[in-house]
């Protein structure tokens, strides 16, 4: 008797070719121990397929046999394997690998297709008959089923690969009695378990009849199931590949369960009802885990109410770290050119899937989302949690969001369970079974640490040696060190939000992915204003509010920060309620004075000053949250909460309060400095942070304090400081005003670094004091370089206002500033800016934008003012950008409405090429193609410390351009691996430069005597040549003598540097004695 045994898709079977010949299972010997087996890349279905070694018989069938010496793995061996693993602590990680198998084996789509294909054309008589023909599909190659992470995100449109009939094998059973074991209550009718004498097969299943659909439920039986449990993920599944509970002793139940999303099918109501009944009987997870999952969804799924729910999507930009200087090992956040920013087009999904293709199994991923204060990082972290609760992040079973201010606690008795369940703003109730389930599937866990900069000494987590073992209690610092060093919850995803400040950036150098929140664009800020008034039910004020904002360019530029944009909306709402003649203030200080002025009218005596002192003290400790008992009195607390100056953070404990925004805390801190008598007058200038001190430098964590302090001290008392605390409380401010005025007028802006100069401009603008503003703008140097310093929209606005007020001409270097196109256009359009340098890609984008908008005059000014002199190509991008600039000139010259060369291309005189030995030879041909466009080029430097090595081919390509480079005076070909062939090609082309070339350097190449002879022949023709350097080449005394003889016929040459180790020193001395122009240095 013969029967069909299904072969698992993806198993290691020889592929049948052609006819109905049966397949043979070929499994090599299992080498290594059990841990190696579980960690191997072998198809997991082989572990579940209970077989003995089969061999090909003489006929077209497979006979089953067993040999004791054959190293196969059957049910008993697999059971012993798991028992060994359970008793061995060092291999507990193997359980996670076993847990992966359930997603691999129990998939509705694949196994349903498998069963349908296997029995599709098989009738009752054909199954049990004496002879049988294999279906034609047997010859097709079986497809290996993907793991869940390899499945497409949209499972609705995913079509399962048909596990073709190649998964059939013929089993030849010997004659004799066959025992039917009807003990499997969940098997459909017609699927029988049999065992035959002499077969030595652990279990064979024969199907007779039609296989029911996956959504249908087999009729229940009164017998208990022992051998074949129903698949937890498929209601009514009876796959013969499923291991029995007895085959997997002590296997943790979650290892057989999964929350992977299944393919949706259209089913009838009857089928849906049946599936629902089975789902209730067979939950995907144990009941405590399921309950915790639902409670976690409820915790994070609540949408923010009212204005907190206004959502305007902001751009996420891929970020990277770079060394701050060539001599420093410290890294800082790189500033990409605006046109070269890599936007995360996929938004949230792209962030969480970042670098997944490079992730190794069970490898913890650290993803950081960075942004300045007020950019919306915490709101974005909350959006991540809500997205998971709504089912938009199916790759995670659990998400835990922990504000980092909750982790600044003393003690050393914390564990991972405390971090996940107890230390967050809302303690979670979870049974031990839930924690055990999480530990077995850490790759399905997302842990969000919001406001990471608020952790104390957070910079040492990646380098700390105190990472604990999973079960050992430790301090919170040790617990976080274990997470970052990938010792705890290994395989999870860590998502951090933080400000890119100080040492924290160094700690993030090993993060798997970095992103940056870019803030609002001009259009997004205006959209937020419209939605704000729409949510307030004041749609009639929308246009008026936009007009108020546009009338204050500084506040409009500051609206790129979502926090400040909301503050502007709040003040606009209050002003519009008062009357039609409302106007917004022109400074940030005035904005916050307007917001707090009304709150201070009915405050308890000294309440605002007490709140300001509390804000300052918290800022010095790098904290923004406080407890209710930290307030000096209950009246102050009640007033502050009623006016919205402090509030309960979302999901925080009842006793925990926080300032609504970081900038409000900065304003209150500056208010305390302006009012306090505890701050000595001579210490006040240090809080402006303009001239860093060598001893005890000021920690400027409250980075908004300097601007607010200048505004509060210098702006008129009646509408500023006096409006907040009354005239009587401002006596100390007069003396502080004199101290700061004397300090600011002594500063020399030309000696400050770019970042400090911008901060000084902001302080002078906030002060609104004519004497200070005039001093600052008049002392600005004529050449201002902001190279490598990020310029935000407010920076560009204040800088432009200062340049206009100076009344002089300026030259600006705006490279690597990340300035937006609107900011670049506003600066370039100033009549006082006569020259500017910016990234080539950004400049071309600006020109195209101006051309499309028809701004002809501004376009002409931008083209005439732009310069690239001198230009140094250090990367392929630099050469490509230079090529785009040349192409723009060629397109411009060919158009009818414009003519002539671009000044930037026409006036370039010095060009350096320094790409190194790898990129140099590959990129140099692209440079040669555009080299002839630079008609005024005088200095071409192809030397680099790392050696470009353009070789003889590069010299040959370069030589062809010499006839067009009629102004070239200096040609540096040092360290380029030039041989005699290159020297010959160069000598042939050099006469084209005879009238202009003054200096030629071939230092440290591979030129021998033949090459020296070629150069010697052309030397008399170079009538303008003054200096030639051929040191450190490989020519001998013969080549040196030919060069010396040629030099005697060249009275115009002033120096020939010729020392090389291949020439005897005596010969060199002799040649120098004959001609003093020969240099041996």
- Phi/psi at 326 (5° precision): -70, -25
Residue 790, both tokens = 């990020």
Judged against a pLDDT cut of 80, whether residue 393 lies above it is answered with: yes
Q: Name the residue among 512, 523, 607, 529 with its Cα closest to residue 565.
A: 529
User: Each residue of 190-247: pLDDT tens digit?
Assistant: 444 444 444 444 444 444 444 444 334 444 433 333 333 333 333 333 333 333 333 3
Q: pLDDT class for 99, splitting at 50, 70, 90?
A: low
- The DSSP secondary-structure symbol of 682 reads G
pLDDT at 89 over 50: no
Question: Is residue 700 helix, strand or coil?
Answer: coil
End-to-end CA distance of the chain: 97
With beta carbons less than 8 A apart as the criterion, state whether 593 and 664 touch: no
> Rounded distance, CA 255 to CA 97, Å?
9
Q: Tens digits of per-residue pLDDT, 504-514?
A: 666 777 788 88
Q: Could you tell me what percent of the chain has a pLDDT over 90?
A: 42
Q: What residues contact residue 474 under an 8 Å CB cut-off, 6+ apart?
A: 412, 414, 415, 466, 468, 482
How far apart CA 881 and CA 885 sit, in angstroms, is 6
Structure-model confidence comparison of residues 933 and 111, the more confident one: 933
Q: Is 799 left (phi over 0), alpha (psi -120 to 50) or beta?
A: alpha
Both tokens of 780, joined, read 């600005």
| C-alpha–C-alpha distance, residues 895 and 899, integer Å | 7
397-402: average pLDDT = 92
SS3 605: coil
CA 875 centroid distance within chain:
22
Tokens of 823: 């900011």
> What pLDDT score was predicted for residue 234?
36
DSSP string, 97-158: HHHHHHHHH--HHHHHHHHHHHTTT--HHHHHSS-----GGGGSPPPPPPPGGGS-S-GGG-
Indicate if the pLDDT at residue 10 is higher than 80: no
Phi, psi of 988 (to 5 degrees): -65, -35
- Asked if 915 and 944 touch (Cβ cutoff 8 Å), the reply is yes
> Can you tell me the distance from the alpha carbon of 939 to that of 786, in angstroms, rounded to the nearest whole number?
26
Across the range 691-699, mean pLDDT stands at 62
Beta bridge partners of 1056: 1028, 1078
Query: Is the model's pLDDT at 601 over the cut of 80?
Result: yes
- The pLDDT of residue 698 is 66
Beta strands per DSSP E along 772-915 = 783-785, 810-813, 833-837, 871-873, 910-913
Residue 559 has pLDDT above 50, yes or no: yes
Say yes or no to pLDDT of 710 above 90. yes
> What average pLDDT does range 815-844 have in this prediction?
93
| pLDDT at 359 > cutoff 60 | yes
pLDDT winner (highest mean) among 82-86, 109-113, 479-483 = 479-483
Tell me the average pLDDT across 814-819.
93
The mean pLDDT of 938-949, rounded to a whole number, is 91
pLDDT at 722: 86
Q: How far is CA 203 from CA 9, 179, 236, 338, 525, in A?
A: 19, 11, 20, 66, 69
So what's the pLDDT on residue 255? 31
Give the integer Cα–Cα distance in Å for 174 and 200: 11
Q: Which two tokens mark 751?
A: 């000696």
Angle at 833 between CA 829 and CA 838, to 5 degrees: 80
Provide the pLDDT confidence category of residue 518 given band limits of 50, 70 and 90. Answer: confident
Q: What is the per-residue pLDDT for 238?
A: 35
Q: Pick from 133, 138, 94, 147: which is nearest to 118 by CA? A: 138
Separation of CA 900 from chain center: 43
Rounded-to-integer distance, Cα 383 and Cα 348, Å: 9
Nearest to 593 by CA among 613, 615, 608: 608
Lowest mean pLDDT among 359-373, 691-705, 896-910, 1023-1037: 691-705
Q: Please say if the pLDDT value at position 27 is more than 90.
A: no
Model pLDDT, residue 580: 67
| Pairing, β 316-318 against β 321-323 | unpaired
Cα dihedral sign for 850, 856, 858, 861? positive
**Burial (Cβ within 10 Å: 0-12, 13-18, ≥19) of residue 210:** middle
Give the residue from 665, 410, 465 showing the smallest Cα distance to 563.
665
Burial readout 137-157 (b: 16 or more C-beta within 10 A, e: otherwise): bbbbebbebbebeebeeeeee
Measured over the CA atoms of residue 769, residue 775, residue 778 and residue 779, the dihedral's sign is negative
Tokens of 732: 């100390």
- Tokens at residue 597, please? 């002025």
891: preceding bond cis by omega (within 30 degrees): no
Q: How far is it, in rounded angstroms, from Cα 788 to Cα 804?
A: 23
Predicted structure pTM score: 0.72
Contact 425, 376 (CB under 8 A): no
Q: Are 496 and 366 in contact (CB under 8 A)?
A: yes
Burial of 1035 (0-12, 13-18, 19+ CB in 10 A): buried
**33 pLDDT higher than 90:** no
Question: How distant is the alpha carbon of residue 927 from its chain centre?
Answer: 32
Backbone angles phi, psi at 871, to 5 degrees: -115, 130
pLDDT of residue 80: 61
Query: CA-CA-CA-CA torsion for 830, 833, 839, 842, nearest 10 degrees?
Result: 10
Model pLDDT for residues 853-890, shown as the tens digit of each residue: 999 999 999 999 999 999 999 999 999 999 999 988 88
Does residue 489 carry a pLDDT above 60? yes
Copy the structure tokens of residue 187.
Answer: 């098997």
**Per-residue pLDDT, 348:** 73
Count of positions (residues) in the chain:
1081
pLDDT at 987 over 90: yes
Cα angle 1066, 1071, 1072 (rounded to 5 degrees) comes to: 95
pLDDT band at 773 (very low <50, low <70, confident <90, very high): very high
Average pLDDT over residues 448-474: 65
- Tell me which of 305 and 298 has the higher pLDDT: 298
Can you tell me the mean pLDDT for 951-960?
Answer: 95
Structure tokens at 172: 């030849």
ω into residue 870 within 30 of 0, thus cis?
Answer: yes
User: In this structure, are strands 62-64 and 191-196 parallel, antiparallel, or unpaired?
Assistant: unpaired
Q: Which helix (H) or strand (E) holds 907?
A: none
Higher pLDDT, 678 or 240: 678
pLDDT for res 509:
75
Could you give the CA distance from residue 761 to residue 786 in angstroms, rounded to a whole number?
14
- 453 or 647, higher pLDDT: 647
Confidence grade of residue 951 (pLDDT, cut at 50, 70, 90): very high
Angle at 707 between CA 705 and CA 710, to 5 degrees: 105
Tokens of 1028: 């030639």
What DSSP element (H or E) covers 55? strand 54-56
Alpha helices in 310-404, H assignment, sequence order? 348-352, 377-389
Using the structure block, give the residue that is written with the tokens 């030589």: 959
pLDDT in tens, 1017-1074: 999 999 999 999 999 999 999 999 999 999 999 999 999 999 999 999 899 999 999 9
Neighbour-count burial of 81, counting CB atoms closer than 10 A to its CB (0-12 exposed, 13-18 middle, 19+ buried):
buried
Buried b / exposed e along 760-790 (16+ C-beta atoms within 10 A): bbbbbbbbbbeebbebbbebbeeebebebbb
Give me the residue label for tokens 């610092």: 477
Over residues 259-272, mean pLDDT: 37
Q: Which residues contact 135 (CB under 8 A, 6 or more apart)?
A: 120, 121, 165, 168
* CB-based contact 958:929 (threshold 8 Å): no
pLDDT value, residue 833: 96
pLDDT at 718: 87
Question: Tell me: the pLDDT tens digits for 405-415?
Answer: 888 777 778 88
Q: How far apart are CA 443 and CA 917, in angstroms?
A: 42
Contact in structure between 987 and 956 (CB atoms under 8 Å): no
Output b/e per residue, 1042-1061; b: 16+ Cβ within 10 A: bbbebbeebeebebbbbbbe
Report yes or no: 15 and 167 within 8 Å, Cβ to Cβ: no
């Amino acid at each position: 008797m013969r029967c069909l045994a299904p072969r698992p898709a993806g198993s290691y079977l020889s592929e049948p070719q052609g006819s109905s010949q049966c397949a043979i299972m070929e499994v090599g010997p299992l080498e290594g121990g059990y841990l190696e087996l579980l960690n191997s890349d072998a198809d997991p279905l082989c572990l579940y397929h209970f077989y003995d070694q089969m061999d090909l018989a003489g006929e077209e069938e497979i006979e089953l046999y067993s040999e004791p010496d054959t190293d196969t793995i059957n049910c008993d061996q697999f059971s012993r394997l798991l028992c060994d693993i359970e008793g061995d602590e060092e291999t507990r990680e193997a359980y996670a690998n076993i847990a992966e198998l359930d997603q691999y084996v129990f998939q509705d789509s694949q196994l349903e297709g498998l069963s349908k294909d296997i029995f599709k054309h098989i009738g009752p008589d054909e199954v049990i008959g004496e002879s049988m023909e294999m279906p034609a599909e047997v010859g097709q190659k079986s497809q290996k089923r993907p793991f869940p992470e390899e499945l497409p995100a949209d499972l609705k449109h995913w079509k399962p690969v048909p596990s073709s009939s190649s998964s059939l094998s013929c089993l030849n059973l010997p004659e004799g009695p066959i025992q039917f074991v009807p003990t499997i209550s969940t098997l459909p009718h017609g699927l029988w378990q049999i065992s035959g004498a002499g077969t030595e097969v652990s279990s064979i299943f024969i199907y007779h009849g039609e296989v029911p659909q996956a959504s249908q439920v087999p009729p229940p039986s009164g017998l208990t199931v022992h051998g074949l449990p129903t698949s937890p993920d498929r209601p009514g599944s009876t796959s013969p590949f499923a291991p029995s509970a007895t085959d997997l002793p002590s296997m943790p139940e979650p290892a057989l369960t999964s929350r992977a999303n299944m393919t949706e099918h259209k089913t009838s109501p009857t089928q849906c009802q049946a599936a629902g009944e089975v789902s209730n009987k067979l939950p995907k997870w144990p009941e405590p885990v399921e309950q915790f999952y639902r409670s976690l969804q409820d915790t994070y799924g609540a949408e923010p109410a009212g204005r907190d729910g206004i959502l305007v999507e902001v751009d996420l930009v891929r970020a990277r770290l770079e060394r701050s200087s060539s001599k420093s090992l410290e890294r800082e956040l790189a500033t990409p050119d605006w046109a070269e920013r890599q936007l995360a087009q996929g938004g949230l999904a792209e962030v969480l899937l970042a670098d997944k293709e490079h992730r190794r199994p069970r490898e913890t991923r650290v993803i950081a989302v960075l942004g300045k204060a007020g950019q919306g990082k915490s709101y974005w972290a909350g959006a991540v949690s809500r997205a998971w609760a709504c089912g938009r992040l199916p790759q995670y079973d659990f998400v835990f969001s922990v504000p980092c201010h909750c982790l600044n606690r003393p003690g050393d008795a914390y564990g991972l369970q405390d971090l996940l369940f107890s230390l967050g703003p809302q303690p979670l109730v979870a049974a031990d079974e839930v924690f055990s389930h999480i530990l077995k599937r850490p790759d399905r866990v997302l842990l969000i640490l919001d406001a990471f900069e608020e952790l104390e000494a957070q910079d040492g987590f990646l380098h700390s040696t105190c990472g604990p073992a999973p079960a050992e209690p430790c301090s919170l610092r040790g617990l976080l060190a274990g997470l970052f060093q990938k010792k705890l919850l290994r395989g999870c995803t860590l998502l951090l939000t933080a400000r890119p400040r100080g040492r924290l950036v160094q700690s993030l150098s090993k993060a798997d992915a970095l992103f940056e929140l870019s803030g609002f664009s001009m259009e997004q800020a205006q959209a937020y204003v419209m939605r704000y008034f729409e949510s307030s039910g004041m749609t009639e004020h929308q246009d008026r509010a936009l007009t108020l904002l546009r009338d204050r360019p500084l506040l409009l530029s500051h609206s790129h920060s979502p926090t400040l944009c909301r503050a502007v909306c709040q003040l606009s709402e209050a002003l519009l309620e008062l009357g039609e003649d409302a106007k917004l203030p022109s400074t940030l200080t005035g904005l916050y004075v307007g917001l707090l002025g009304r709150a201070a009218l009915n405050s308890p005596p000294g309440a605002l000053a007490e709140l300001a002192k509390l804000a300052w003290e918290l800022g010095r400790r790098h904290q923004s949250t406080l407890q209710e008992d930290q307030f000096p009195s209950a009246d102050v607390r009640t007033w502050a909460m009623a006016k919205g100056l402090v509030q309960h953070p979302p999901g925080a404990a009842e006793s925990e309060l926080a300032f609504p925004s970081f900038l409000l805390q900065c304003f209150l801190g500056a208010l305390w400095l302006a009012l306090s008598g505890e701050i000595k007058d001579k210490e006040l200038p240090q809080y402006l942070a303009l001239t860093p001190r060598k001893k005890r430098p000021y920690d400027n964590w409250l980075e908004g304090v300097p601007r607010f302090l200048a505004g509060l001290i210098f702006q008129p008392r009646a509408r500023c400081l006096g409006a907040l605390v009354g005239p009587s409380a401002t006596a100390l401010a007069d003396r502080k005003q004199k101290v700061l005025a004397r300090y600011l007028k002594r500063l020399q802006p030309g000696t400050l670094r770019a970042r400090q100069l911008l901060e000084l401009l902001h302080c002078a603008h906030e002060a609104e004091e004519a004497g200070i503003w005039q001093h600052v703008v008049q002392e600005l140097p004529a050449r201002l370089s902001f190279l490598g310093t990020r310029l935000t929209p407010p920076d560009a606005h204040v800088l432009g206002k200062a340049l206009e007020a100076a009344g002089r001409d300026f030259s600006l270097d705006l490279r690597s500033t990340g300035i937006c196109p609107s900011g670049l256009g506003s600066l370039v359009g100033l009549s006082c800016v006569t020259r500017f340098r910016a990234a080539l890609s950004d400049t071309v984008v600006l020109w195209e934008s101006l051309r499309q908008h028809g701004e002809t005059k501004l376009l002409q000014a931008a083209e005439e003012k732009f310069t690239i002199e001198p230009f140094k190509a250090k990367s392929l991008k630099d050469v490509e950008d230079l090529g785009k600039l040349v192409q723009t000139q060629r397109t411009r010259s060919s158009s009818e409405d414009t003519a002539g060369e671009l000044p930037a291309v026409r006036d370039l005189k010095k060009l350096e090429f320094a790409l190194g030995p790898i990129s140099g030879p590959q990129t140099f041909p692209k440079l040669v193609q555009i080299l002839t466009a630079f008609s005024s080029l005088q200095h071409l430097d192809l030397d680099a410390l790392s050696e470009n090595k353009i070789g003889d081919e590069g010299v040959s390509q370069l030589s062809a351009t010499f006839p067009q480079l009629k102004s070239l005076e200096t040609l540096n070909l040092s360290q380029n691996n030039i041989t005699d062939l290159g020297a010959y090609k160069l000598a042939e082309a050099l006469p084209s430069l005879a009238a202009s070339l003054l200096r030629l350097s071939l230092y440290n190449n591979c030129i021998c005597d033949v090459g020296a002879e070629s150069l010697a022949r052309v030397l008399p023709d170079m009538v303008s040549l003054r200096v030639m350097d051929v040191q450190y080449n490989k020519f001998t005394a013969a080549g040196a003598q030919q060069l010396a003889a040629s030099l005697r016929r060249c009275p115009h040459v002033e120096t020939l540097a010729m020392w090389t180790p291949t020439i005897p020193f005596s010969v060199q001395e002799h040649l120098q004695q004959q001609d003093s122009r020969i240099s041996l240095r």
